[in-house]
Amino acid sequence: MTNAPGPNAVDRLATLLAEDLAAVDALIHRHMSSPVGVIPNLAAHLIDAGGKRIRPLITLAAARLLGGGGDGPRKLAAAVEFIHSATLLHDDVVDISAMRRGKRSANLIWGNSASVLVGDFLFARSFNLMVETGDIMVLDILARAASVIAEGEVMQLAAANDADTSRARYMEIVAAKTAALFAAAARAGAVAAGRPGQEAIALETFGRELGLAFQLVDDALDYGGLAATMGKNTGDDFKEGKVTLPVVFARDAGDEAERAFWRRVVSGERGEEDFVRALALLRRHNAIALTLDAARAHANAARQALSQLPANAYREALSDLADFVVERAH
């Protein structure tokens, strides 16, 4: 176990895995190429926009932690990033997003149709990469994750504008749409390192718990983090009528008038004034802190899962990552 997470755990992980990561980026660019110009252009717009590559870093670190390296984990890491990218492109169509990674989103520039089809292309290419490893076990892990992610996205769509979404239901959605890929990314790294047994299960648990923490912190940040104030990156979930964990906490602790407020803004009309009131209610009920407590518990479980694995620089870096995921909201 380590402490002193610091704000740069992702950067330090990227430095530790610099050679692997450069190879992964080369694989990504090679496999997103196509004579059909829209494809590399649209894909590069998203993939080169400065995503943090957290998921592929987890795959690479999981493999290295167990003594694995070389082409297999790199191809899987690239495949994981492609699955993630395809999901983002389709998410932006579903959510009618206008911004992604600080840039205009691809659907706004190239249209929804191109985003759907290029997402399909990247998804297919992720399987081409997995096939190149020749490892049916990792294909199984990532293909299962892909269908669970799609299930999670449909669950989220069905729950949209449903003000009564329970905490359990919400966590089920998060487990599917976000944590499943983190879990598969970590497990695939272990399997690619030739360690499909207990160590793969431990790393899968690490990934799942990290993914849960990651999403809950994102939910908190979408309401401005602990300060719960408006900022340029806040309010997307509110605008879309999504019930996330902060809303669950505030709603369940609120009185009848407050619950009526949440019902109205989640399922019906909502304006800027409503967002200001929502922030006030989140503060009143300590909902952001409670959400971050839940995230912290998952991050701790993630670190705990690492304890049975070999102690080395990769394990330390993953442990730091679990801390960092929560710290970034403070």
* Identity of the residue, 18 or 136, whose beta carbon is nearer to its own copies in the bound complex: 136
Number of residues near its own copies (by CB under 8 A): 42
Closest distance of CB 304 from its own copies, Å: 29
Question: Which one of the spans 22-30, 138-146, 198-206, 237-245 is the region binding its own copies (CB under 8 A)?
Answer: 138-146
Residue 299 CB partners (closer than 8 Å, separation 6+): 209, 210, 213, 322, 323, 325, 326
- In the region spanning residues 156 to 185, those forming contacts with its own copies, defined by CB under 8 A, are 157-158
226, 260, 300 from 218: Cα distances, Å: 12, 25, 17
Residues paired with residue 104 on neighbouring β-strands, in sequence order: 99
State the burial class of residue 69 (Cβ atoms within 10 Å of its Cβ: 0-12, 13-18, 19+).
middle
46, 155, 220, 321: which one binds its own copies (CB under 8 A): 155
* Identity of the residue, 76 or 213, whose beta carbon is nearer to its own copies in the bound complex: 76
Q: Would you give the DSSP letter of residue 227?
A: G
Extract the runs of DSSP E, i.e. beta strands, from the chain: 99-100, 103-104
- Contact status: 153 vs its own copies (CB under 8 A): yes
- In the region spanning residues 59 to 98, those forming contacts with its own copies, defined by CB under 8 A, are 86, 90, 93-94
Closest distance of CB 151 from its own copies, Å: 5
- In the region spanning residues 25 to 54, those forming contacts with its own copies, defined by CB under 8 A, are 34-39
108, 143, 201, 253: which one binds its own copies (CB under 8 A): 143
Contacts with its own copies, 92-131, as mask; x by CB under 8 A: -xx-----------------xxx-xxxxxx-xxx-xx-xx
Smallest CA-to-CA distance from 7 within 324, 275, 307 is with 324
* Identity of the residue, 236 or 327, whose beta carbon is nearer to its own copies in the bound complex: 236
Determine the Cα–Cα distance for residues 159 and 54; give it in Å rounded to an integer. 27
**Residue in this structure with the two tokens 């905490």, named with its chain if needed:** 167
Question: Which one of the spans 18-26, 69-77, 154-162, 185-193 is the region binding its own copies (CB under 8 A)?
Answer: 154-162
Q: Are 200 and 191 in contact (CB under 8 A)?
A: yes
Q: Are 179 and 211 in contact (CB under 8 A)?
A: yes
Closest distance of CB 96 from its own copies, Å: 9
Kindly tell me the sign of the dihedral angle through the C-alpha atoms of 295, 297, 299, 305.
negative
Determine the Cα–Cα distance for residues 116 and 123; give it in Å rounded to an integer. 11
Closest distance of CB 155 from its own copies, Å: 5
Closest distance of CB 153 from its own copies, Å: 5
- Contact status: 240 vs its own copies (CB under 8 A): no
Residue 17 CB partners (closer than 8 Å, separation 6+): 57, 60, 61, 64
- Contact status: 140 vs its own copies (CB under 8 A): yes
Closest distance of CB 139 from its own copies, Å: 5
- Contact status: 200 vs its own copies (CB under 8 A): no
DSSP helix/strand/coil, 103:
strand
Residues in the site for its own copies, rule: CB under 8 A?
34-39, 86, 90, 93-94, 112-114, 116-121, 123-125, 127-128, 130-131, 134, 136, 139-140, 143-144, 146-147, 149-151, 153-155, 157-158
